[in-house]
Structures are given as structure tokens and as C-alpha cells.
Amino acid sequence: MNTKFLSVKKLFQVFTSFLAISSCGLVYASDPWPVKPISMTIPFPPGGVATMVGRPVVDSMNKVLEKPIVMENRPGAGGGIGNAYVAKSKPDGYNVLFAMSSVSTIPETDKISGKPPSYQTSQLRPIGRITSDPVVMVVRADSPWKTIQEFVADARKKPGKFNYSSSGNYGTMQLPMEMLKADQKIFMVHIPYTGAGPAVLAVLSGEVETTASGPSTVVQHIKAGKLRALAHSGEGRLAALPDVPSFKEAGMAVEYNQWTGLFLPRSTPEPIVQKYRDALRSAINDNSVKTVLNNIGSPVAYLDGPEFQAFWDKDIAKMNEVVRRIGKLE
């Protein structure tokens, strides 16, 4: 048989296969979207930072998108279950993730724990950052500690006697507390819960002595006289809590921000990604959203997709170094 004919035939087959794949992608990307409700995964229980920040944002995005976004809580593994669910979902735009900064570190913490990673950060595409807040360390209002210095001095005298709660191992509420422990050479027992809501409730109920959470989950309790803020992990003073010093101001090397943002599966078609970016940008510019977020102590700190990706790359490297210092948790 003519080898030249075979070569031409082979080339034709490759070319037609390429066209078929390309055309499938084009048809897929140009299909009307959305044509059904969208599922937004919240990887934590109701009542935490993600819910409180996510609700007004979703309500505003629903004014722009043709179909509603339905918030669904998928808690567990410090956010890992929900993060993995979206990372591995079909990239058709109908599954979006409302993540917190723990999304950066969970693959690394799985590795440290000797488990196969539940997902890889490379499987997710950042759409936009929404907020970026320090955490606020709180105790019950009827506790004996009036300042962070008093608490640390007491903890140093009683190693292992104080417990602190968090949203899960290596999560956004544990990392700053571990920074405090290392910096001040104190020992407290970590009690992980399934999210920020249950972790704050543990302080309110007296199950633990303290926790460090985003302003949106503690400001209301502070203003109601149920919790006392000792310090926060940001710079300067917070607008929502102007009387609370930063750890840095108190002479303690604890600087940490927990952020929120939207993610899609990495290979989601570009036209769908753009619709999400437009809808989120519209929500961020919605005055009612800004008002709600300001009132709960989590003002907008928006970054659009490309800028968010650059920020996230740096955050992954920085926070993974922190979890490696913590090491394996028994």
C-alpha cells in the first residue's frame, strides 16, 4: 500500500479529530448559560463567616444572573469536603465555591497528615476575592482577662490548662492561635469544631476559654456584651472595634488575615467565568452589600480574577510554610 497515502490519511484523521474537539469546546462554551439554578458550596456549617459574608453577595449576584444561586453547606475536614466537591465537579458553571483562606493549605495539610490530598489548588480557578479580615481573639465577657497581656501571662503560668476552639485542624482560626503560642511560648489545647459558628458558640457556652475568628462572627456578641475582644491579627485599629489593639501593637508577632472568595473548577469555559466575574463585580459595587459587610465588620477587599490569582499564589506559599512549621497533628 502507498505509504504516502497512509501518511496523508493519518494526517487527515488527526486534523478532523482536532476539529471535532475544538468544535465541541466551542459549542459547549457558546451554549446558553445558566439554564438552571446554580449550586454554591459553603464548605462550613451555617452561621460562620462564609455564610454571613456570602448571603448578601449571593442575593446581589442573583439580580444579574438569569437563574438563582442556591447556597448549600457542605461542612467537614476544615472545609476540605466542600472544596474538593467543587474542585472535582463538572466544569459547567453550575457548581461554584465560596471559599475561605483555608482553601490554600488543605492539600498541604493532607500531605502532612499522611493522607492523599482531597483536591489540588490547581483544580480551582479564582473568580474574585471579596473580603480580607484579621481574626479577633475573644474571651467571654465575664472572664478575668481584660487585656491580651493578662491572658498570655495567665496561660504561661498554667500550661495546658486553657483550651481554644477553631473551625478545624490547620484552618483559618487555628493558624493565628498557633502563631501566638509560638511567639509567646505558651501552651494551649486546640479543640477543633466543624466551623466558625460552633467554635464561637464553644466560647459563649464556656466549653473553651478563647478563640480567634473573623469580625463578622464575633462583633455582634462583643456589642451585646457577651464576648470581650483582646486583640486582632491585623494592622492598626479596626473600624468595627476601634478600642481593640492589634497583636503587633501589644508587642506580639502575630499577623494574619482570613479572606473569602469565589472559585470555579479550573477548566470552566471562559464565557461562563466572565459571567461570574461580571456578576461578582456588580455585587461588590452594590451599596446594600457594602453596608451589610461594613455592619458585620468585614468590609469589601475586592480583587478581580487575575489579581486574585496572583494574590492566591503568594498566599499558598506563605500559609503552607506556616502549616509545615505546625507539623503533623495527632
pLDDT digits (tens, 9 = 90+) for 168-198: 888 889 999 999 999 999 999 999 998 889 9
Q: What is the pLDDT of residues 270-291, one digit of tens each?
A: 999 999 999 999 999 999 999 9
Q: Which residues, 6+ apart, have CB-to-CB distance to 204 below 8 Å? A: 140, 221, 226, 227
Q: What is the pLDDT of residues 83-112, one digit of tens each?
A: 999 999 999 999 999 999 999 999 999 999
Predicted TM-score (pTM) above 0.85 = no
d(CA 233, CA 173): 11
> Do the Cβ atoms of 180 and 247 come closer than 8 Å?
yes
- ∠ CA 39-281-310, nearest 5°, is 90
CATH class given for the domain over 38-132+258-326:
alpha beta
What is the pLDDT, as a whole number, of residue 102? 92
Q: Per-residue pLDDT for 304 more than 50?
A: yes
Q: What are phi and psi of 326, to 5 degrees?
A: -65, -40
pLDDT band at 330 (very low <50, low <70, confident <90, very high): low
Assigned CATH for 136-232? 3.40.190.10
**Cell digits of residue 119:** 483536591
Segments making up each domain of the chain, as ranges = 38-132+258-326, 136-232
> Do the Cβ atoms of 171 and 211 come closer than 8 Å?
no
Q: What is the pLDDT of residues 247-256, one digit of tens each?
A: 999 999 999 9
Of residues 162 and 51, which shows the higher confidence score? 162
Q: Per-residue pLDDT for 73 more than 90?
A: yes
What is the pLDDT, as a whole number, of residue 27? 34
Do 136-232 and 38-132+258-326 fall under one CATH topology? yes
pLDDT band at 48 (very low <50, low <70, confident <90, very high): confident
